[in-house]
Structure 1
């Protein structure tokens, strides 16, 4: 299973940036995971039409987005349990908030966003993935996303950068 992981797209009315990104970088994936901050429900509808999609809402998402998605999800893909949470909140770092959101749950991988800073890290045998943002990089030098390939006995994670 090949999964494209994105977050923090912050798309308003103009979907062209997201469409271009999807066509250019995620054509070959089997599924897309988005870790929140779409800004509008139109972005979700676009992702749902493009590929099998799963996402959570983030702190800048409107009520229309929150009606369509949960704040936190756990899915099972090829015997791996993946927790998805945007990472918003107060106190602690984004990565710690994401990690603690799944305390008491059996997860192998946690996908989060919020900081716009791409991260691949492990903590206590859990793989932590923040894809950054594919179209709204803030202070980062490059746009970024993650390709996660899950096989029965192998995980391949690639952090991708582009201008």
Structure 2
């Protein structure tokens, strides 16, 4: 299962369209808020299943505040992130506390992967055995380049790749993290 994960497009569907065209095909689109309508619109245009959560600027959008889905035994929990009072200007110590909270929230929800947006800052890391992913934004005028996460879920393995847009049509791999199921982890350590 190959998922395209986007967030904080804020009315700019152009880069989502470009990523889908140049790096697809995907089996599903996930949008993490603040542009959930354009995410749904592109999924419809491409004939793809869609999941999305409402962000703090998705006024009137028919989407939940958080959601989850499972593939091949890996559970994904998603939220926009404004519920956690996070912002990209907080210091490193505060961010480490947020990452621990995300891992704890994932554990409470029996989730292996935590997806969030809101900060416009791309993040991909393994925190206490939980993949924590923020695809960044597509906001025009952002200090960060447009980004998205390719999430590939297979039996016994989940891989997340953060792609950042460097120039027209050119997306580069910026970071990669993998997570193995408990059964796969036991087999690898044997």
The TM-score normalised by the length of structure 2 is 0.70
Residue 113 of structure 1 and its aligned partner are, at CA, apart by 0.7
SS at match of 2:82: coil
Report the Cα distance in structure 1 between the residues aligned to 2:27 and 2:101, rounded to whole angstroms.
28
1:57 paired to 2:57: no
Residue 70 of structure 1 and its aligned partner are, at CA, apart by 0.4
- Map 1:5-154 onto structure 2 (within 5 A): 5-11=5-11, 15-25=13-23, 27-38=24-35, 41-50=37-46, 51-63=48-60, 65=61, 68-89=62-83, 90=85, 93=95, 95=99, 98-99=102-103, 101-102=105-106, 104-134=108-138, 136=140, 138-140=142-144, 142-154=145-157
1:159 paired to 2:162: yes
The TM-score normalised by the length of structure 1 is 0.81
Structure 2 CA distance for partners of 1:103 and 1:155, relative to 1, 3 Å: closer
Give the gaps of 5 or more residues in structure 1. none
SS at match of 1:82: strand
Give the gaps of 5 or more residues in structure 2. 87-93, 168-190
Structure 1 vs Structure 2 CA RMSD? 2.5
SS at match of 1:133: coil
SS at match of 1:114: coil
Report the Cα distance in structure 2 between the residues aligned to 1:99 and 1:48, rounded to whole angstroms.
32
The count of residues paired between Structure 1 and Structure 2 equals: 155
Structure possessing the higher relative contact order (Cα contacts under 8 Å, 6 or more residues apart): 1
> Which one has a larger percent helix, Structure 1 or Structure 2?
2
Tell me whether 89-98 or 27-36 shows the greater mean CA deviation: 89-98
